[in-house]
Amino acid sequence: MASLVAIVVAHDSAAVLPACLAALAGQHVPAIVVDNASRDASAAVAEAAGAAVIHNVRNEGYGRANNRGVRAAGTAEHILIVNPDVVLRPGAVDALLQAARSWPDAGLFAPRLVEIDGRFFFQPRSLLAPYLTNPGGRLALPQGDACAPFLSGACLMMPRRLFLDLGGFDERIFLFYEDDDLCRRIADAGRALVHVHGAEALHGRGRSSAPERGRVFRTRWHQAWSRAYVSRKYGLPDPSPATLMTNLPKALLSALVLRRAGVERYGGSAAGALAFLRGRDALTREGLHE
């Protein structure tokens, strides 16, 4: 039985997959790449690297694709969810597995994420964190292993059985906040979220997919919709009206001065908020079904 299997969701990720998969292979971690209908050579690159490949005929979104990969991971004790723009440094996998042995009652483990420019990425709060609230978002970087209110979905390790028992990622979310939601459910189950300082991963934030026309509008739409969805799910105030009122004037002004970047950015946020208020869901927008 493999003690650990990596799940990598790809969508037009051919440029970054080689480094990601080589790092996993170098630490003897078998990988399953779930290809979300890439238009580039992502699937071929994954196969050439020795990964098992699951071909989705449509882009199923981040959470649904990961769930499919985890279900295909057989009898693995732990699963490692890795974005294709993440490269695990040598020794990172051993450090994560050692943390799991040291804290067997914990539910989720994540490495220290280092950005391309050398900065240590750590999110000091989460919209959904039920404990360790940090309303001001004061950034206090861990100096060692530490419990956290949130761990980034860029790279997560957890027991496969726990992931499945909790239902995996919420499949009504196409993109954004699925990691916050999973962290919340793990914490609600009484399991700790552990930042493993000795495990380092290089994160090329925003490089998972090749650029495409309309991408900014689409991502901002989902970001606004998903924030509203998880807020409702956990009984928090609906941010949609404020999101709409803040972004719609900016989108109209951007259109007036012919600033396309502003139209996409602010228009996407306004459209996502409006869609939520009108009862439209993310899967319908993407032509998917629950």
Range scoring the smallest mean pLDDT among 25-29, 147-151, 238-242: 147-151
pLDDT at 133: 60
Q: What pLDDT band is residue 141 in, cutting at 50, 70 and 90?
A: confident
pLDDT digits (tens, 9 = 90+) for 218-257: 999 999 999 999 999 999 999 999 999 999 999 999 999 9
pLDDT digits (tens, 9 = 90+) for 45-86: 999 999 999 999 999 999 999 999 999 999 899 999 999 999
pLDDT digits (tens, 9 = 90+) for 80-114: 999 999 999 999 999 999 999 999 999 999 999 99
Q: Which residues pair with 220 in a beta bridge?
A: none
Cα atoms found within 13 Å of the Cα of residue 249, Cβ hemisphere only: 4
pLDDT at residue 135 above 70? Answer: no
Which CATH fold would you assign to the domain 4-203? Spore Coat Polysaccharide Biosynthesis Protein SpsA; Chain A (3.90.550)
pLDDT at 7: 98
pLDDT at 130: 67
Query: Average pLDDT of 189-198?
Result: 96
Q: What pLDDT band is residue 1 in, cutting at 50, 70 and 90?
A: very low
Q: How far apart are CA 176 and CA 168, in angstroms?
A: 15
92, 115 contact by CB (below 8 A) = no
Residue spans of the domains in the chain: they are 4-203, 215-285
* Phi, psi dihedral angles at 169 (to 5 degrees): -70, 145
What is the pTM for the complete model shown?
Answer: 0.93
Residue written as token pair 């919709």:
225
Query: Average pLDDT of 144-167?
Result: 95
28, 15 contact by CB (below 8 A) = no
Q: Which residues pair with 195 in a beta bridge?
A: 110, 146
